Structure 1
Amino acid sequence: MKINVATDRCTGIGICESIAPDFFEVLDDGTLNLLEDKTGDALAEVEHAVRSCPALALSLTAE
């Protein structure tokens, strides 16, 4: 699955980073840096991060 970030919605809270730190990193200026754009074997972990985003800025799409 491919990870998508709606940068205009992201508020930089960092919940995604705390759940899936191999995929998400919130920079010092509050912007989200996507470290990996495909879930690979970590689908469940990334799905949890996507569901936990309070700004609804994350989504997954089939490749």
Structure 2
Amino acid sequence: MTKIVIVMGKTIHISRRIKKEDLAKAVERLSKKKRLDARKFCGLVKWKEDALVAQKRMRNEWS
């Protein structure tokens, strides 16, 4: 008998002969997901104008 298990939107077929270690490896392979690298976006923004003037200009766009 084969069971079908859906983990994180992906399917794993499980038979009675499968070992726990093999099942754990299969689930681990599915659970690896790329995450956002926040360090890529950290840093300073160099504005060519005064920060207060830029802020007022951006807020004025909504009106």
Q: Identify the structure with bigger relative contact order (alpha carbons < 8 Å, sequence gap 6+).
A: 1
Rg larger for: 2
Provide TM-score, normalisation by structure 1: 0.24
